[in-house]
Amino acid sequence: MSSSTSSAPTEAADRAAPETYACYRDAWGIPHLRAADPFRLSYAQGRTTAVDRAWQLEVERRRSQGSTAAFLGADEVAWDRFARQSRLDDTARRCFGSLDAETAAWVRAYVDGVNDGMAAGAARDERFARTGLVPTPWEPWVPLGIWLSTHVLFAGFPTKLWRAQVARALGDEAVTLFATDGPGTAGSNGWLVPGERTSTGAAIIAGDPHRFIEDPGVYQQIRLACSEYDVVGLAVPGVPGLAHFGHTGSVAWAITNAMADYQDLYVERLTRTGGPGGERVWALGPDGAREPVARHTETITVAGADGAAPTEVEVEVLETARGPVVIDTPEQTVSLRHPSRVRADLGFAALPALLRARTVADIDRAVDGWAEPVNVIHAADTGGGLLHRVAGAVPLRHPDNRLRPVPAWEPGHAWQGWADAPAEPVQGFAVMANARGIASPLGVEFAPPHRAHRIRELLSGSADWSAPDMADVHRDTFLGSAAALLDRLPALTGLSPEAGTLRERLLGWDRHMAAGSTDATLFAALRTALVRRIAADPALAELAGAPTGPEVFHPWLYLLPRVGYALEGLLTTALLPGLDRAAHLRAALEETAAAAAPDTAWSEVHRLAPWQALHDPGAAWPGLGGDHDCVNATSSVPGVTDLSSRASAARYVWDLARREDSLWAVPLGADGVTGSAHHRDQLPLWARGELVPVVTDWTLLTKESI
């Protein structure tokens, strides 16, 4: 943020006066904020978010600080331990301390707003009283801590633990046998349609981030307007600005997960010595010398069940020269190294710069300083400018670092600088769907190409696209990955009449996981049966045990979901010669045919199952169309459940011809308070793949008393 265009307020009172901003709402309760300058606007964003989403903000703040068990109970101890051992809050403090003065003041203004709005927000939400949670003032680095805790597992570094297990069980050549966007990763769709392929002659950017669906939602629709800019977009509650998706009127941008690998795990050799000053810990360094390890202990308070008194859990926090120790068991000690900890920089200076952008060149410059997560970015402006690039910090290091935990004591595994961010011109359509492409040099595991191919196929069907047309792409349910299974059915012999009938039915299926499709349900049942049989095959027996080590990493370490997501590759790989795929498929087909119930629509079993910090037993969640490899990526876990906990956390269409023709939707609504009018009012539309208009005319909005 340039000092020539704005000045940071120097007194808290300058930032903390509600009358210095105005809040308007549209028919969906979406806040449109107007203030005199960026700092008062940041304050307004913080205060309004606290009033709307106090419970969510406190949960996220406590997650970043490792103190959720104090009000949610023993189930949260595993996360709290990880948050403390990985030093999320300390990293946030360091990154905040490295901010330039104006960005720091802008973040402080947001925190001031949160602190001023939290009491009113907490009074609206009965969950505070139910849990006994009393909000306490935020410190200025909390937004950075929330960003870290939201994204520390985003790139799935625990996959390296899984690959190490695969290598031990099946050999080094099989280390990437299960390489795909697995159980814990987050993905997205995004596409950029240049003006020559639209009805207006101006570009359209559209897409949807795929994340675990949470209640309240992980994205907040909002408008931020002041003397310097007027931007609509999707904010992360607890973080100022619009990091991922925004439209300033003259330029719009959107991101997807680049699937880059930028976090390393190091196997450490620790020794402990005692002495007058207490125990000391040492690590074996790459030069063979003993290195001191920073050590202290922290205490996690755990709420008692059914009125019982709280208890305490002591946590040892260790940090080697590589990074914080996140696993310390008798079997292994492992440290985590990631860019934000190493550089004390999260790239937050990009956030105000994005709000002030007017052209794609401005976007390009703003994201040059981005750190993590590493993203692929699309941008377009009203002058015809287009951008397709990667942004984020990816270290240069030995190739083995990307694959598995590496020995800290062996030379050659140190970081050696930073990779260049790939960029390429937009030719035809630019599509990003986590598949191999522009970010390929930076990663190991990418999504299968089905979503990307399907989006290109759909976009190629017209040269006259409009913003409303984009909903047809968003809700497409064609399942390209079904071919790997279905194409093997004709070769099966010796089938019972029932299995033969089922085979013919599935071969005639249109391969759409449509909400009302009964064939989709049968396919999913066959896939589940096949996944379970392959996972039980003796060839994979050494991978079938229950995970060990920290519970936070367990989702990456279970065999069954790994087989479910990697089924397509497992059906074709030559690395498992003893796996009798035909026998497993035949048995799965017979099993499915014998168990087939009366026709059941896919949406009856494929229902939304969002995460909630406190379970709401009265919630009724809709059935959905789509599946993991559909553009409408409502992910189930094949072999485990047909329920969907990961899906589109928002959908957006940015129209560069007329911003007021843009569209968006979120899974629930604008308000985070259960039972409020706008808590879940977008849910039925979202479930059907519909969008609501982005309102930009202030006269169509209702001014709110603040």
What is the pLDDT at residue 20? 86
Type and span of the H or E element at 394: none
- Other C-beta atoms closer than 10 Å to the C-beta of 480 total 19
pLDDT value at position 185? 57
CB 586 within 8 A of CB 495: yes
pLDDT at 7 over 70: no
Question: pLDDT band for position 11 (50/70/90)?
Answer: very low
Percentage of the chain modeled with pLDDT above 90:
92
How many C-alpha atoms does 477 have within 13 Å on its Cβ side? 21
Each residue of 32-46: pLDDT tens digit?
999 999 999 999 999
Q: Say whether pLDDT at 371 is over 90.
A: yes
Give the model's pLDDT for residue 10.
Answer: 39
Q: Are 602 and 516 in contact (CB under 8 A)?
A: yes
pLDDT confidence bin for 180, thresholds 50/70/90: confident
Query: What's the distance, CA 481 to chain centroid?
Result: 22
Is 60:38 a contact under the CB 8 Å cutoff? no
Q: What is the pLDDT of residue 4?
A: 35
pLDDT in tens, 231-253: 999 999 999 999 999 999 999 99
CA 129 – CA 152 distance, rounded (Å):
30
Give the tens place of pLDDT for each residue, 280-324: 999 999 988 999 999 999 999 999 998 899 999 999 999 999 999
User: How much of the chain is in helix, strand and coil states, percent to nearest 5?
Assistant: 35, 20, 45
Kindly report the length of the chain. Answer: 706
Percent residues over pLDDT 70 in the chain: 96
Q: What is the mean pLDDT of the chain?
A: 94
Give the Cα separation of 148 and 573 in Å (integer). Answer: 37
CATH ID of 264-340, from 2.30.120.10, 3.40.50.11540, 3.40.91.50, 3.40.50.10860: 2.30.120.10
**Does residue 636 sit in helix, strand or coil?**
strand
Per-residue pLDDT reduced to its tens digit, 641-650: 999 999 999 9
Q: Does residue 98 carry a pLDDT above 80?
A: yes
pLDDT tens-digit series, residues 670-691 = 999 999 999 999 999 999 999 9
The pLDDT-based confidence of 122 (bands split at 50, 70, 90) is very high
Q: What residue ranges of the chain are covered by domains with CATH 2.30.120.10? A: 264-340
CATH 1.10.3470 fits 159-185+478-511+518-600, yes or no: no
Paired sense of beta strands 264-267 and 406-407, if any = parallel
Q: For the chain, give every residue range classified as CATH 1.10.1400.
A: 159-185+478-511+518-600
